[in-house]
Chain A
Amino acid sequence: MTAKVLRSCRLCKSALRHFRSLSGCGRGVHTTFIDNDAETADIVISGGGMVGTAMACALGNEPHLADKRIVLLESAPKKEFTLPENYSNRTCTVSPSTVNLLNSFGAWDEILQMRCQPVKRMQVWESCSDSLITFNKDDMMGDLAFVVENDVILEATRRSLTAMGDRVDVMYNTSASSYIIPGVTAGHKNVNQNSWVTISTNDGKTIKTKLLIGADGMNSGVRKAGEFHTVKWDYKQLALVATLHVTGVSENTVAWQRFLPTGPLALLPLSTERCCMIWTTTPENARNLRDLPVDSFVDAVNDALWHERDKDSTAMSLGQSFQGILNGIFSSEMTDRQMPPTIVDVDDNSRAHFPLTLVHASNYVLQRVALIGDSAHRIHPLAGQGVNLGFGDVSCLRDILVQSSQEGADPGSLSYLTQYETERQRAVLPVIATIEGLHRLYSTSLTPVVVLRSLGLQATNAMTFLKDKIVGQASG
């Protein structure tokens, strides 16, 4: 008995000695871990796309996370990027909050050095009536958003990552072949869920991590491994993209979207003479359009922007009288309807289509696992919000991880990750609901619906404060 007490005291003393010899030792004491073959990390990001790389940058840039080992798994090889002369057909509409995030680790400057186009005004109208809505900042000078090619964003974030040196360990040519998530993976269900996540990579390495961040896109392997309940549906539509040559605009800083009964057609400015087209339509129509000769394709796009054959006479007349009333109430001058640009050509080989699906994980987190970007939520591109939601995930998760680190918590701690989930679902679900609503509202040419939606749109357009709110929401 006595001996036991004495031993405790000795232990305490030896611990003190140990501490003295240790004080001043900073990062990485990877010694006594049970499995010596495995590498250990605090945070592993699986997937080096735009969102995954931005996550790595955001975490690597945080001084509060300086003692955490961060690993980014990127399946593609490391390659030099040279900005091609032709614009890519895959672009993003980047909101101001995303710009802030990219700015926080220097990637926005890289983008400005490459190329991007500001959007100062948006005009949305439809083919069944004359109603339209426009968005712009007060003075017509402020930027609503920026159109940036995906490749440019990815390259900019990679450059920022490289500039951080060894802060983030980027494993190129490496992808996870399997994950063991304690408490979930078969055979490990009974394992205490505080055990770390084990990742086996395609090159035979094993990495153990306290937190696995799934940034591996809509077919996320992390989401599958974590057995997240997922809601999925196919819109039975294809999005046709192309890089168009335009004339008839001076500055080309307007984003255009026209709702057709088959789906919306959007033109996003890329430069003074180039636009990126995203045309959501039926699969047959999309395939036909892709295979059309250049001339006929250009005609088809111009026709889709200008034609008046869907016009509904009831909606038109009602809309005109309603506009009169609105002008009386809000004393607004007639909305300055701008004419969309005229398409003159299309870049060779820039036409492509991809299927549209909605994917939404009912949960974004598990103990030691978090999903970000498309792996958690992939939405219809009609409002161009998909990537912004992904970058919103990045900022939110970074903040939560900084907080958990300041409070000494394990980065994989569920209490903190749940805060991330709650905050993000509050942001994502309304966007999904709005987009679903718009999608359904505009995919019909039924007169009563057309009347209601055009009156609604006109009313919204007349109420400046409401529009400002919408702009505020969309720019996050």
Chain B
Amino acid sequence: MGASLFSRNTNSKADKRNRKFKEADRLFSKSSVTSAAAVSGIVDQYEKSKDRDLPSSPESQNNQNGANTPQPNGHSENSNESSQNHSGKLHKAGGAIRHKKNKNKNRHRITHQQSRLRYSTANRERPIVTDNTIDEEEREKFAKLAHTWWNESGEFQALHALNALRIPWIRDALINRLETPPSKSGKPLEGLKILDAGSGGGILSEPLARLGAFMVGVDMVEDNIKVAQHHLSEDPRIVSRVKYIQATVEDLVSTEEESFDAVVASEVVEHVANIDSFLNSCGRLVKPGGSMFLTTINKTNISFGLAVVAAERIFRLVPMGTHDWDKFVSPDDLQFILDRNQFTTRLIHGMWYNPLTCRWRWTKDTSINYALHAIKTNGRTQVRTESEQTDSAGKSDTSHGANSTVT
């Protein structure tokens, strides 16, 4: 979608989308494979033996989208997989959850049987939901998905917990930049316009909106946007101060250049395929004097050990391939790229997550997670040439990260 428009970005965007989908896939790494789908499989068999006339849901697929074919492996690591394929997984997993509700959907019965047949040969863990479901079903599905995103003690616990660190950080940094201190009203960010790049389920956008900011959240993944929108609709007080758009930051540059007081890309940079293009676009969206807030994972042996080896390979907390260590970026490199985009780095600070207490805290040590605040210098950026240079040169962004080596 729109990818053809920006041909120079095609690769990176498809890739990035894959990243995002993998991110989204993490949602279901535990729930769908081990619990939800497995349970639904059991329920399924049980229902089947109990009452053949009342098949519990898994909706058939409509075959109009070939990419929806079930994958034998829940999360294969083929980077050539199309994005639809990933979204197909999302649908499937959504269905897996719904499945448990044992809804009688007669209109799908025939196709349901077909899909069941296919399941027996492929992977019967993941029921499939069609795209052309009625609104009510859609709504319900996204309510479920939203629950996964917004369950504070669920899969995104660490991300929710990070709010206690990053929201005050962003808030105070922005307040310090204000000419007049805000009134003690509970809306200190009133009047500021902030872009949340990679907004996901809206975990960061909503709190900032509650503090008075006008938020624009962009995310590549349609489901994320819908989840965020669904959750937002439950809070009438901020609904008019948040706008979610399915787009890339590159998409926004043409219309929204220099219109944001701040751009926040939290836990996004490490998933971006072309970091130069991404940061360049983010930078162009910021007003002169505005701020850029980044949080990400450092490129060190420790972070490799924790994020890739421990989390993916040993403890299987996240699916294999969630994190691509080559995409991690060190603070120095990040600062270097920002410098080139007319940003002066104000602060780099380490963050430490304690998985036992589920709390984050600030630390001097930036070797794992770190946060960076940079301010745009007043001169206008000479953009396009620079971005094109970096685009071709930085095709493999390892060139910047070469100073820290993988073993």
User: Which residues on A are within 8 Å of B, measured CB to CB?
Assistant: 1-2, 4-5, 8-9, 11-13, 15-16, 18-19, 22-23, 26, 28-34, 40, 42, 63-68, 190-196, 210, 367, 405-410, 413-415
Contacts of A16 in B (CB 8 A): 193, 259
**Given A8-B246, A19-B214, A192-B144, A1-B3 contact (CB < 8 Å):** yes
Number of B positions contacting A (CB below 8 A): 55
- The answer to whether A18 touches B240 (Cβ under 8 A) is yes
List 15 A–B pairs whose Cβ atoms lie within 8 Å, in order of A's numbering.
A5-B251, A8-B246, A9-B247, A15-B243, A19-B240, A23-B191, A29-B236, A63-B185, A64-B186, A65-B186, A194-B150, A406-B168, A406-B171, A409-B163, A409-B210
- The answer to whether B185 touches A66 (Cβ under 8 A) is yes
- The answer to whether B153 touches A11 (Cβ under 8 A) is no
| A408 CA to B209 CA, complexed, in Å | 7
| A64 CA to B241 CA, complexed, in Å | 19
| A414 CA to B154 CA, complexed, in Å | 12
| A28 CA to B167 CA, complexed, in Å | 23
Q: How far is the CB of B222 from chain A (nearest CB, A)?
A: 10
Q: Nearest chain-B residue to A191 (Cβ)? A: B143
- The answer to whether B168 touches A67 (Cβ under 8 A) is no
Q: How far is the CB of B376 from chain A (nearest CB, A)?
A: 19
- The answer to whether B167 touches A407 (Cβ under 8 A) is yes
Contacts of B168 in A (CB 8 A): 406-407
**Given A63-B184, A63-B185, A367-B152, A19-B193 contact (CB < 8 Å):** yes
| A2 CA to B7 CA, complexed, in Å | 12
Cβ-defined partner of B236 (8 Å) among A32, A65, A408? A32
Asked whether B5 is an interface residue with its Cβ less than 8 Å from the other chain, the reply is yes
Contacts of A33 in B (CB 8 A): 234, 236
Cβ-defined partner of A12 (8 Å) among B153, B208, B216? B216
- The answer to whether A9 touches B163 (Cβ under 8 A) is no
**Given A12-B252, A16-B259, A29-B239 contact (CB < 8 Å):** yes
| A23 CA to B241 CA, complexed, in Å | 9
Interface residues of B in 82-117 (CB under 8 A from A): 101
**Given A63-B184, A67-B187, A413-B152, A13-B255 contact (CB < 8 Å):** yes
Interface residues of B in 135-177 (CB under 8 A from A): 143-144, 146-147, 150-153, 160-161, 163-164, 167-168, 171
- The answer to whether A1 touches B207 (Cβ under 8 A) is no
Asked whether B1 is an interface residue with its Cβ less than 8 Å from the other chain, the reply is yes
Q: Nearest chain-B residue to A192 (Cβ)? A: B147
- The answer to whether A23 touches B190 (Cβ under 8 A) is yes
Q: A1-B5, A194-B147, A194-B150 are in contact. List 4 more A-B contacts (CB 8 A).
A: A12-B256, A19-B214, A42-B237, A66-B186
| A8 CA to B220 CA, complexed, in Å | 12
- The answer to whether A67 touches B186 (Cβ under 8 A) is yes
Q: Mark B220-244, 1 if CB is under 8 A from A, else 0.
A: 0000000000010111110111010
Cβ-defined partner of A415 (8 Å) among B161, B210, B211, B231? B161
| A142 CA to B55 CA, complexed, in Å | 75
- The answer to whether B186 touches A405 (Cβ under 8 A) is yes
Q: How far is the CB of A469 from chain B (nearest CB, A)?
A: 28
Q: Mark B123-136, 1 if CB is under 8 A from A, else 0.
A: 00000000000000
Contacts of B185 in A (CB 8 A): 26, 63-64, 66-67
Contacts of B209 in A (CB 8 A): 408
Q: How far is the CB of A30 from chain B (nearest CB, A)?
A: 5
